[in-house]
Amino acid sequence: MTSALVRGLLVALLVVTPALLLPGVAADTTQVVMLVALLAAVLTMVEYSSAYPSLLEFRYAPPFNRLRYLFTLLVVLSITMISRGAVDSNGASRLFLSLGRIVAQVLDFPFSPVRLLTLVLPIEASPRLVATLRLSAAMAYGLSLLMVLVFFVQVRLRGWPARNGAFNVWINLPLFDPTGGGDVVTRLQRDARLNFSLGFLLPFLMPAFAKAATDLLSISALENPQTLVWTTTLWAMFPAMLITRGLAMVRIADMIETKRRRAYAQAEAEGAPVGAAQTI
């Protein structure tokens, strides 16, 4: 229960971070944010205090969820401070603005996801809004790429999740049914390819969809700092989480395939039919 409580409080902190740091947040907005934070904390506590998994994947395979939470918090904090620096500059906001400019010089090039996201803004958008969105998108996308790289190192160089002990598919993939039909390895590899494809395409497709719906959006909504924070966070982190999930699926499929080969080799060494090893 203590662990579940701490996780619930951390999730609530993530939700309320923009409302705490951004200036001029309305009282009604604060109340809504607190309600959402409370609901997120309760759901997290229920998930982690339960003896059986329900929705959260890789619950017993750290640091998968810890990495996703940490980098999401970093993205939210970075965009919040960049948005704050546009209206109320201080030492911390100037630091994030400087980091955003450095990252933007690397990631903001023609046809890049960062450039496509800035083109979503209508022509009448203020230069300050365009600059804020550009720096926010660059920081968010850069951190999302760093998260993918860190998890790739965890998988390839540190042997995730085998170094944490035996991996149980049922408790770590509660929404995946191993008996749903077809070979488990093939299904895992197919899911991984789907996650890779969506994770690569969504940073390009989401701005295109938003541009197509520009007529339905208003400048006042886009200039809301909290809307900017959460929209940019979703645009950057959701595809990155899909890619990390794809990496995890590929790793699990490889582990199952390796275990099968060992079982087949052991069966052949003992003189048993190879088909007998298929039930292991």
Looking at residue 88, what is its pLDDT? 80
Is 164 in the same domain as 34? Answer: no
- Tell me, yes or no, whether 5 lies in a domain: yes
Whole-number pLDDT of residue 24: 81
Domain region containing 33:
1-51
228 and 112, same structural domain? yes
In angstroms, the CA 91 to CA 157 distance is: 38
CA distance 248 to 155: 8
* pTM, entire model: 0.90
Distance in angstroms (rounded) separating the CA atoms of residues 104 and 120: 17
Let me know whether 90 and 116 are in one domain. yes
DSSP 269-280: HTT--GGGGGG-
pLDDT recorded at residue 273: 56
Shared domain check, 150 and 102? yes
Contact 4, 45 (CB under 8 A): yes
Are 159 and 94 found together in one domain? Answer: yes
pLDDT of residue 214: 59
Residues in CB range of 98: below 8 A, 6 or more apart: none
Vertex 144, ends 171 and 33: CA angle to 5°? Answer: 75
CA atoms within 13 A on the CB side of 49: 13
pLDDT, position 90: 83
- Element at 129 (helix H, strand E): helix 127-156
Q: What is the tally of helices (H) and strands (E) in the chain?
A: 10, 0
Distances (CA, A) of 227 to 131, 223, 230: 16, 8, 5
Q: Is residue 253 part of a domain?
A: no
Q: Name the domain count of the chain.
A: 2
pLDDT for 213: 64
Mean pLDDT by 10 residues, the chain (280 residues): 93 95 86 95 91 83 94 96 86 91 94 91 86 95 97 92 80 81 87 96 89 61 85 96 96 90 80 48
Copy the structure tokens of residue 108.
């903001």
pLDDT at position 1, please?
83
Give yes or no: residues 132 and 159 share one domain.
yes
Considering the domain architecture, whether residues 116 and 199 belong to the same structural domain is answered as yes
Output the DSSP codes for 49-102. HSSS-SS-SSTTSTTHHHHHHHHHHHHHHHHHHHHHHTTS--HHHHHHHHHHHH
